[in-house]
Amino acid sequence: MDDIARLAKVSKPTVSRALSGSHLVSETTRARVLEVARAQGYAVNRNAQKLRQARSGTIAVILDFGSHRGGRIGDPFMFELLAGVSEALSVRNQDILLSPPGLVDAQSCADLIASRGADGLIFLGQGNQETMLTELVRADIPFVVWGAVSKNNTYCAVGSDNALGGRLAGKHFVGRGTRRWLFVGNIEHEEILLRYEGLVAVARETNNGIEVCTLSAVDMSYAGVCSVAAEWISSNEAPDAVFAFSDTAAMAVISVFRDAGLVAPRDYALVGYNNIPPAAHFTPAITTIEQETHLAGSILVEKLMQRIDGANPKSAMLQTRIIIRES
């Protein structure tokens, strides 16, 4: 930096300000300093620079690998969500640390923050991590979660109205005159449980002899749902309505049921969740519950930045609606 200052005929502090983008340096001076720096092959060591700053400028994003056997996350919805978070972080000039290895409990997350590996955490999916999330609250670790929004949350969560999503699916099935409903999903996950409860509530309110069965999909991947759906349909009476926890799961059900001679919407009505782009182009086009994924990323990042700044942001529930298609 001393050499750059001498060659550019400015002070060392001016070089530092020019390279960091400070508004205290004129554009003319900044351009001259950058030109000299490039000519001399000088580059700022960002990791060393962060050690002198109050924050690391990095946010850790943790995917719910635990819900996908063998680390297989193939649901387009998750990557749409991740893309939104990444874009929102780039606008704020923040680096993204994607699913750092070893973050298996609250202590490892706290160690990452304490070592300045990241300023905060964004969890994309609650999974069955409620105990760890509660411990992070007690440890005062800045984080936000994409998942179920509940009055019982002790942390900031952003998500759709999952119970309403279940009710919308149930009302759709009632309108179709169906009575044997199948819910596909792992209700040990809070988000999925709320969807199931919304569906069951409509069945009870209708009081029309509706039976609701459940098919647990612990492995939430396409292949995992195919496996349990094939086993289930081989030994159970066919439903006339299916509500799947995701559009990817809905696609798996359609494929397996077709092999068993059941075709939607001829033999059963089907509703998925998330409204991923392929859902509209699948055969049949999938009726689904839409989450405003395009807003989720920016809201998650905004809430986390408020938390890092010492505020206590409230959870946010996104608009939830049903998109009627062929299935």
What would the pLDDT profile of 152-182 be if each residue is shown by its tens digit? 788 999 999 999 999 999 999 999 999 999 9
**% pLDDT > 70, the chain:** 94
* CA pair distance 84, 113, nearest whole angstrom: 23
**How confident is the model at residue 18, as a pLDDT?**
85
Q: Where are the alpha helices (DSSP H) in 118-264?
A: 130-138, 162-175, 190-206, 222-233, 247-259
Mean pLDDT computed over 207-216: 93
What would the pLDDT profile of 68-82 be if each residue is shown by its tens digit? 554 456 678 888 899
Angle, vertex CA 112, rays to CA 107 and CA 117, nearest 5: 180
- Domain extent listing, the chain: 2-44, 58-160+293-318, 162-290
Fold of 162-290: Rossmann fold (3.40.50)
Q: Is the pLDDT of residue 150 over 90?
A: no
Mean pLDDT computed over 28-41: 88
**How confident is the model at residue 152, as a pLDDT?**
79
**How confident is the model at residue 71, as a pLDDT?**
47
Q: Which carries the bigger pLDDT value, residue 251 or residue 54?
A: 251
Q: What is the dihedral of CA 258, 263, 264, 270, to 10 degrees?
A: -50
Q: Which of 155, 160, 157, 133 is nearest to 245 (CA)?
A: 160
Q: Is the pLDDT of residue 98 over 60?
A: yes
Chain-centroid distance of CA 274 in Å reads 11
CATH architecture label of 2-44: Orthogonal Bundle (1.10)
Supply the mean pLDDT for the chain: 89
Q: Are domains 58-160+293-318 and 162-290 of this chain identical in fold?
A: yes
What would the pLDDT profile of 270-299 be if each residue is shown by its tens digit? 999 999 999 999 999 999 999 888 789 999
Q: How many CB atoms lie within 10 A of CB 218?
A: 12
Fold of 58-160+293-318: Rossmann fold (3.40.50)
Mean pLDDT computed over 299-311: 95
Band (100; pLDDT cuts 50, 70, 90):
confident
What would the pLDDT profile of 60-69 be if each residue is shown by its tens digit? 999 876 555 5
- Cβ atoms of 300 and 158 within 8 Å: the answer is yes
Which range (19-23, 28-32, 116-120) has the least confidence? 19-23
Mean pLDDT computed over 73-97: 87
**How confident is the model at residue 127, as a pLDDT?**
74
Q: Which carries the bigger pLDDT value, residue 311 or residue 65?
A: 311
Most confident of 19-33, 112-126, 255-269: 255-269
**How confident is the model at residue 54, as a pLDDT?**
58
